[in-house]
Structure formats: C-alpha cells, structure tokens
Structure 1
Amino acid sequence: MFTAITIVLWILSPWLLVEGGISFEEFHRENLPLLSLTNSSENNLLLPFNTTRTPGSEESLKVQNFIKRFYRGMEGPWQLEEDSFEANGRRFKNLVFTLGEASHYVTIAAHYDSKVAPEGFVGASDSAASCAILLYVSRFLDRLYDEDAALLEPRLRGAGIGFKIVFFDGEEALQQWRADDSLYGSRRLAGQWARSGTLDHIELLVLLDLLGSEPQPIPSYFRETHWYYERLASLEAAYTHQELQLDAQDHRFLQANGVTIEDDHVPFYEAGVAVLHLVPWPFPSVWHTLEDDYDHLQQGQVDKWAVLLSEFLIDCAARR
C-alpha cells in the first residue's frame, strides 16, 4: 500500500519528495493508528465522534471542544473561525480552521452533527468518520508545514494556496428535510463568506459525506471539477488493487451538471464555488438507520480516504 502511494507521489509532487524532508510513507505508517476502531488511546481521532451529536446538545459541545483542543495542539499557524447562531429553537456552531494567508484556498468540509431521530442515531458514516478524516488531513498538513515550512510557505502566501478545514453544524433536518429545515451551518457560512468576499477566494470546496462504511461507487457530479476528480481517481488506483470507488469514465451525473444530491455543498455551489462532492451513490445501506454505527465502519475504508485526501490536497498545492 505505502509503496504504491510513494511511487505515485514521486510523479505527482516531486518538489515535495526531492526538496523536502518529510516522508509520506512514514507519516501514514505512524499516524493511521490514530484512526483505529479498536485502539482506545487518548490520541484517537475517530472514537470521540462515536456518540450522538445533535445540535445544541451536551454531546455536541464535547465534540466541539475535542476538535478545538486538537487544533490547539498543532504546530502550524492555524486560525479558528467560530460561528455560533440560533435557528428553529436550536443552537448551532460552525468551526473553521485556516492554515496559511493566501490568495486562494482549498476548503475541505464535513458536518459533525447527527440526526435527532431515530433516537440514539450516531451516524458513523454520516459523518463521524469524515470528521475524523478531516483531523487526520489537518495533522498531515501541519506536519508538512512544521517540517518543510520553507518549502510550503511560498504556496501558502501571496499568490499561493491555503487550506480551510470546515466542520458544519446542522446539516441534518431537525424534523423533516426542507429548505428551511436542513443545511443550517452551510447556509449560514456561505452567506457570511459571500458578504465578506471570502467566497471569491475559495478555489475548491471538497465535501465529504457517507464515507467509511461499505465501499459504494462515488461518481463525479460536476463538469467544472471533473479534472480534480480524475486526479483523485488516479491516486485511488495507485493506492489499492481492490474494487475502486472512483471511475473517471462514469459521466452519468456530468450530463446533468447540477445539484442532484442535496448536501452542505449546495449553498456554495449556488454561489458559484467549484465543488468536489465525495458522497457515494447509491447511499450505504445503513444510511439514516441505527445501524449506521461504528460496528458498520470498515477500517480499510477509513484509512484509505484519510491517505487519499491528504495526498490530494498536497497535489492541489503543488499544481499552483
């Protein structure tokens, strides 16, 4: 697994491997145990999300604090944007962490809330695993910044590329999905960023959802970002010889080239932001059931997406 990744990254990002000191293979070998489904270490990034996380709840607050502690322990200059608001009688909070002062940003996001019903719904793939993957990717970027700052900083400043990691609250409907009862956090943040001009500097929004359980196909949904999808598909092909989830030749959704699945990307897409939506279709069989728990996560799937997205973001920076 690691050999294949190292080989493909030598091709994709030679400026990192030749000039820099960090070993991607070594990093993933050391850090993937932090996503273990069984390792109860206090440093585990996955297990703290194994709880209900309904907006405004005590469990949601604990998850928020866990995420913020994680970033406080990082080496790089991460900036926190914390946005609390009320809607439909609930308290919500978006968390945005930014690395680099740049002219353009790649933003990678997931929602950390869980459904109100059925009672006890954890949402392991929807989207606890994706949130843990965001933390892993952030650690990867942080290590790169810390060990190869002289190499990476020019790409994080001026005309370069920066990174925003977003944890949305309130993706799920509180009662029944409709325009005013869903996507609370993403609608709020897209509106704020539109007013502040931040949206003009978002080069790409990568949205993760329903990852980590059974490996369903993940189509390419938008023509504007199909070339990003192709780059990620090439990384997946190098990563594993097992059944692939990405197929750059599947153009079913590209023909429609519009919103076919409502998710947190919608307010940003409607505002003109380029979106790479990484959500399986069809949805996993456990979707919106109590079986979407940690017993139905697959360690190999969690690990795969953590590695692929780490490498994908560096590929984005290298190509600017």
Structure 2
Amino acid sequence: MLILLALVSAWIALAQELSFAEFHKNNLRNSLSVAEQSASNLLRHFNGTRVPGSKESKEMQDFIKKYFRDVLNNDWSVETDSFEENGFNFTNLVFTPMHGESYLVIAAHYDTKIDPPGFIGAMDSGASCAVLLYVAKFIDHILTVDKDLLEPLLLGSQVGLKIVFFDGEEAINQWGPYDSIYGSKHLARKWEKLGILNSIDLFVLMDLLGSKEQQPVHSYYRSSHRHYAALSQIEDWIGGTQTKWLDPAERKYVQLNDPIIDDDHRPFYEAGVSILHLIPFPFPATWHTLDDDFDNLDEGSIQKWALMMSQFVLDFLRY
C-alpha cells in the first residue's frame, strides 16, 4: 500500500511538472522577449519612461490593472494606493489572488528617474515588473486548472499572496531619507494601521535584475537566508546561465544583517518584516545611466528569473 501511495504521489508530481513545463513552453518566450513587439510581450510595455505623475506613468498603471482584470482568469483584488507628496502624484498597485492568515509579498518598483531625461530603467526595474506579471500569470494558471495545488501540504494556515508595484522609489532631486522610496513608505504606514504588516511572512523585493552583466545576488538577512537557499536550489535545478547568481555558502553580507542597500524594503524591514532582497551587488554598470535600456538587457536572464520566481512562489504557498 505504501509503495502504491508513493507511486501515485510520484505520478502526480510528474504530471504537475509536465503541466508546468507546458505552461512555460507556451508563455515564456512570448511574454518576456527583448525584441518581440507582439501584444503578449509583457516586457515591451516597460520600454519607456515612467516618471511619477506623468502621462506615461498613468498609462503604465492602466496597463497593469487591465492585465490583471482582463488577461488573467481569476478575481485578483486590486488595492490602489494613491497619494501626493513633494508636488508629485504617486500610485502603488497591489494585487491579491488569494487571502490568508499570513502573506507572501513580492514587489518591484515601476517608476523611473526624472534625471537624466529619457531614462528608461530597463533593469531598474522594468524587467522585474515584467517578471512579476509573468509570475501572476503562472499562479493564475494554477488557480484555473488545479486550485487545490495551492493548498498547504503540511498542516497549517493558508498563506496568501500579494504582488506589489511601487511608485516613487527613485529620488525626485537627490537620494536621501526624505527624497526616495515614497511609495513603499506610504504603503508600509497604511498597512501598519490596517494590521497587515504583522501578517507578512516574507517580503521579496526584486530590483536591478535582467542586465547582461552577470553580477552576484547576495543573501543580506539572517531571517530570510533559508528562503535564499531555497531559491538557490531552484536556480540549480533550472540552470540556464553560465554564471550562478545565488550562493548560500557566501555569508559576508548576511552576517552583517543590515540593510546595506537602501531600497523599497527599508520601511518593511524597520517594521520587523523578514526581507529577501533580490538585487545584484555590485550594481551593473548601466545603473542610473541612459544605457539602462533594452540593448543592455539579457533575455535569457529575465526568463530564468521568471522561472525561478514562479517555482519559488508556488513552493512558498504550499509549505
């Protein structure tokens, strides 16, 4: 009987793996292409400026909301967090497909720098936003074809998911504690009042990903090192690039256990939330220059991040 159960379990796992492989085969290249101009290519929508309060920023907000409303099959609740500060209008977007007693939050910022004019921010952080949209499509697929797969395998409470697109990460004039991360500070204050901060199991922030430079992505916090190690195992399983990005054995930054890089995670970290910061260091050479454009993106790296994060989110929600 035990052998039969093991065989059935293995068959189910294989069937699921084949189903996921088919999903990625049908969606990955079309959704995350540097050159493809089709409407299904999520990445191409980020090939332009997205300065807070601008026409282009509003168009990006509309595109993201329309994607979750019209392209995906399930009911993703939307939280639009709009506010004005320092003479600029900012809007965070939060999408939740499933609620729980606790949450996994994955996030990136969609705004671009004001200066230099024409800054596209392909890796900062257009590529990460496109990956978030792809992960949403993957989770939506599971909710459509096999919702029970997202039920926890072990006894415990259901973990919910929130996907966040931050506005106002970049400074308006000069980066500093009062001129940066406008959106994340506002949402953290709002969620603290609503009691949501205390229910976040893990906050994953993606930034500066997708460059042709294969820079390492370090583990920065003790509380999330096991999640970093789990993502590293997924990277080993997927392969796909000559350089391995994540190395759990390298612990020089995790031993510091301090936000050495300022980013949208800071207000959540200061509130005691466990942070997994997926950002390369040193930063790629195109950072905050006009060369941060689609010519300097690596399509294979972006698609690999999409596969890694899809599997990571699925595993987290199940365990």
TM-score range normalised by the length of the shorter chain: over 0.9
Preserved CA contact (<8 Å) 1:21 1:147: no
Q: Residue 175 of structure 2: SS of its match in structure 1?
A: coil
Equivalent-residue separation in structure 1 for 2:214 and 2:11 (angstroms): 33
- The amino acid across from 1:233 in the alignment is S
Q: Are 2:89 and 1:91 equivalent residues in the alignment?
A: yes
Q: TM-score, normalised by structure 2?
A: 0.92
Q: Are 2:14 and 1:24 equivalent residues in the alignment?
A: no
Q: Residue 135 of structure 1: which of 133, 136, 140 is its match?
A: 133
Query: Partner residue of 2:312?
Result: 312
Residue 154 of structure 1: CA displacement? 6.4
Equivalent-residue separation in structure 2 for 1:110 and 1:140 (angstroms): 17
- The amino acid across from 2:27 in the alignment is N
Q: Residue 40 of structure 1: which of 31, 37, 50 is its match?
A: 37
Query: Partner residue of 2:235?
Result: 236
Equivalent-residue separation in structure 2 for 1:317 and 1:232 (angstroms): 14
Preserved CA contact (<8 Å) 2:152 2:317: no
Kindly report the root-mean-square deviation, in angstroms, between the aligned alpha carbons of the 2 structures.
1.7
Residue 19 of structure 1: CA displacement? 7.4
Query: Partner residue of 1:144?
Result: 142
The structure-2 alpha-carbon separation of the partners of 1:69 and 1:262, relative to structure 1 and needing over 3 Å to count, comes to: same
Q: Give unpaired runs (5+ residues) of structure 1.
A: 1-12
Q: Residue 116 of structure 1: SS of its match in structure 2?
A: coil
- How many residues of Structure 1 are paired with residues of Structure 2 in the alignment? 305
Query: Partner residue of 1:6?
Result: none
Preserved CA contact (<8 Å) 1:22 1:148: no
Q: TM-score, normalised by structure 1?
A: 0.92
The structure-2 alpha-carbon separation of the partners of 1:293 and 1:17, relative to structure 1 and needing over 3 Å to count, comes to: same
Q: Are 2:299 and 1:302 equivalent residues in the alignment?
A: no
Residue 77 of structure 1: CA displacement? 2.2
Query: Partner residue of 1:5?
Result: none
Residue 17 of structure 1: CA displacement? 2.6
Residue 208 of structure 1: CA displacement? 0.2
Alignment of 1:76-225 (within 5 A): 76-152=74-150, 159-213=157-211, 214-225=213-224
Q: Give unpaired runs (5+ residues) of structure 2.
A: 1-8
Preserved CA contact (<8 Å) 2:104 2:162: yes
Q: Are 2:252 and 1:252 equivalent residues in the alignment?
A: yes
Q: Which runs of 4+ in 1 moved over 4 A?
A: 13-16, 18-22
Q: Residue 310 of structure 1: SS of its match in structure 2?
A: helix
Residue 316 of structure 1: CA displacement? 0.7
Residue 16 of structure 1: CA displacement? 6.7
Preserved CA contact (<8 Å) 1:21 1:148: no
Query: Partner residue of 1:274?
Result: 274
Q: Residue 92 of structure 2: SS of its match in structure 1?
A: strand
Q: Residue 255 of structure 1: SS of its match in structure 2?
A: coil
Residue 193 of structure 1: CA displacement? 0.5
